Amino acid sequence: MLSGALEVMLGFMGEFDLIETFFKRPPRHAVLGVGDDCALLAVKSGQQLAISSDMLVEGRHFLSTANPLHLGHKALAVNLSDLAACGALPKAFLLSLALPEVVPQWLSEFSKGLWALADLHQCDLVGGDTTRGPLNICITVLGEVPAQQALLRHGAQVGDDIYVSGHLGDARLALEVFRGTLSVPQSVFEAARLRMDKPTPRVELGLALRGLAHAAIDISDGLLGDLQHILKASAVGAEVDTQQVLSTMACAQNSGLHQDDLLRLTLAGGDDYELVFTAPENQRKAIANASLSSNTPVTRIGKITASPQLTLLDNEGQPLRHTFDSFDHFKTP
């Protein structure tokens, strides 16, 4: 590694040195990790492989000023969140990285953030690619889930309770303050920004919901938009209690913002990486236990209905007429 280290100092780091220095470690689960044409993974008998891929682009998913330590965390977190939504146990991931230039300090911080979260979930980095180009981070994550036990979108049933994990609206609050469309006290902004930069993938909750939840999805595009995916796939509707949704706010709670803004942030904010899921009424105690055992707050926010629309209820149980668009990576500015 001496010549690698020297090249870094000279600013002539090549693709192979870069991988060796920042992204190569012996795997714990995989049969074969970084350094061959393919990684090799053994899948236990009775288990299926859950796979998901997310691509993060500078200027769209993160700001050019993003702290690379947080970015390394977030790039993996949004992928682990997809595994969580399926109730899968993280096993391995591949990282493909396009970099405009090789800045060892940036890479060192980025990989530190990435490894910290990977270690927390004992998830092996087993392969990927590095190249020069506009900053782009593409991670593919692989997890195991027992056959027939994956949490999917299409299992919601009429009468199911609807729940969300954790806290909604914080990430979008931070983004809107950045954009200058909302204004909040500095301490609120700082807390919201940390939630935007370092989302917590709800892996443990997803695992605890196996066999309990009928349907689940993670909230990346906003609660309503993502809940709609469950409704469409399950051919059902929903009534959502907006007061319960507002009660999930963490940072936004003390922001002094108008109720309409708070509703927009929590219902259609996006970038939350919480889980929204449904479960039958007779599992309320089990859901509470899953929340406790996974150390993850869970809030019951509504019911699945037979009529196919999604209805928002106000604090008197009356339908709200306002609509909230979800976040779309192509449609929003």
Residues that bind its own copies (CB under 8 A): 12-16, 18, 31-32, 35-43, 45, 48-55, 57-61, 82-83, 85-86, 88, 92, 94, 96-98, 102, 126-134, 136, 138, 140, 142-143, 145, 147, 150, 152-153, 216-218, 233, 328-331
Residue 48 or 157: the one with the smaller Cβ distance to its own copies is 48
Is 152 within 8 Å of 82 (Cβ atoms)? no
Residue 58 or 314: the one with the smaller Cβ distance to its own copies is 58
Minimum distance from residue 147 beta carbon to its own copies (Å): 7
Beta bridge partners of 94: 127, 140
Is 137 within 8 Å of 130 (Cβ atoms)? no
**HSE value, Cβ hemisphere, 13 Å, CA-based, for 93:** 31
Minimum distance from residue 4 beta carbon to its own copies (Å): 13
Residue 216 or 251: the one with the smaller Cβ distance to its own copies is 216
Q: How far apart (Å, rounded) are the C-alpha atoms in residues 255 and 187?
A: 9
Q: How far apart (Å, rounded) are the C-alpha atoms in residues 197 and 70?
A: 6
Residue 12 or 116: the one with the smaller Cβ distance to its own copies is 12
Minimum distance from residue 265 beta carbon to its own copies (Å): 21
Minimum distance from residue 46 beta carbon to its own copies (Å): 10
Minimum distance from residue 331 beta carbon to its own copies (Å): 5
Residue 7 or 314: the one with the smaller Cβ distance to its own copies is 7
**Of the candidates 173, 153, 76, the residue with the CA atom closest to the CA atom of residue 116:** 76
**HSE value, Cβ hemisphere, 13 Å, CA-based, for 26:** 1
Q: How far apart (Å, rounded) are the C-alpha atoms in residues 213 and 283?
A: 9
303 alpha carbon, distance to own chain's centre? 24
